[in-house]
Amino acid sequence: MSIYIKNAWYVAAWANEVNRDLLKRRILGEPIVLYRKNDGTPVALIDRCAHKLLPLSMGHLAGDNLQCGYHGLEYDCSGACVRVPGQDRIPATAKVRSFPLVERYNAIWIWMGDPAMADPSKIHTVRKIGEPGWSVVDGGYQLHGGDFLNIAENLQDPAHTTYVHVRTIGNPATSEVPVKVEQGDDYVVAYRWSNNVPPPPIDKKNGNFKGLVDRCQYYNYFAPCVSRVDVVTMDAGQEHTEENMDKGLRVYSYKFLTPETESTTHFFWMQVRNFGAGDAKVQAELFAGLNQTFAEDNVIVTAVQREQAATGVRQQTWLSIDAGPSRVRKMLEDMAAAEQA
């Protein structure tokens, strides 16, 4: 059985990656070519000419059409061939698949499943983006060497932070705090509050904390492809109301997972926060720090994927910290099975 869940919106690219050049990217195992029409509308087609299979990304744009680089066949944005040099009749088989796209949150979202189900209202809602006082770091991209299930488990797993991210966001003080897990129809959330603890180095710097803090982390996974980690760091001793939390440091850290193949994943990331607005240095440091953090995760999931492939086994012992990650995996596996049934 495939691990792919097709009827969903995935981030195909950041908006600024798609332009009048041809972008080649594999998504859910399919070769895709992305470009924009002259009016800016993004287009996604199968990257393989119906004639001799040459990748269309090796061709050229002819206005809004895509011209194959082998024999000049031209496809319009729906994937219909509209010109065959040397003949008037266009065969019914001369067409390639096109994919529904939506541009939102500086990203191009693609629907790989049944086009009739491609409802833009199903695109995940990113919190606070564009609201006053909230800043965004986006454009983050890494190709991760693990399948999206392993990555989803890793994202839903606070316990690894202390050991994998010791140089960045790791904080030994929180490692022994138990995590609570809740689940809905299409999400799992694991969370923990660590009260009266010293702030981790980055938070201390950004929030100007003088003493101990209360700190929470909510690890939300929204099936099939969105992870949102909410972090609040606030002066210790206050009630944990939304209002008080907004006075502290508050961050929504998004990852959008798009399977490239059954064993690799496009890892897009974005962060929305309520501090350091307009501060280019903070912005640059956040980008660099997060990029480094996720690169640390990539080293781990790549190694785990390799060992799983070598052994045919996923893990050999189960721990309490697996509760949240295991629920996410089961939710995603069930969803794939239901779709394929």
Residues that bind a copy of itself (CB under 8 A): 48, 50-55, 58-59, 67-72, 81, 84-87, 91, 93-94, 157, 159-160, 162-164, 175-176, 178-179, 299-300, 303-304, 307-308, 311, 313-321
Looking at the Cβ atoms of 162 and 244, the one nearer to a copy of itself is 162
Cα separation, 168 vs 161, whole angstroms? 9
Looking at the Cβ atoms of 241 and 311, the one nearer to a copy of itself is 311
The closest of 295, 286, 294 to 135, measured between CA atoms, is 286
Looking at the Cβ atoms of 280 and 319, the one nearer to a copy of itself is 319
Looking at the Cβ atoms of 9 and 99, the one nearer to a copy of itself is 99
Cα separation, 6 vs 87, whole angstroms? 37
User: Which segments of 86-172 are extended strands (E)?
Assistant: 101-104, 107-111, 135-144
Place of tokens 């869940």: 5
Looking at the Cβ atoms of 20 and 60, the one nearer to a copy of itself is 60
- Decide if 145 contacts 264 (C-beta within 8 A): yes
Residue 265 CB, nearest distance to a copy of itself (Å)?
17
The closest of 147, 177, 189 to 298, measured between CA atoms, is 147
Residue 169 CB, nearest distance to a copy of itself (Å)?
15
Residue 54 CB, nearest distance to a copy of itself (Å)?
6
Residue 166 CB, nearest distance to a copy of itself (Å)?
9
Render 20-84 in DSSP notation, one character per residue: SSPEEEEETTEEEEEEE-TTS-EEEEESS-TTT---GGGSEEETTEEE-TTT--EE-TTSBEEEB
Residue 323 CB, nearest distance to a copy of itself (Å)?
11
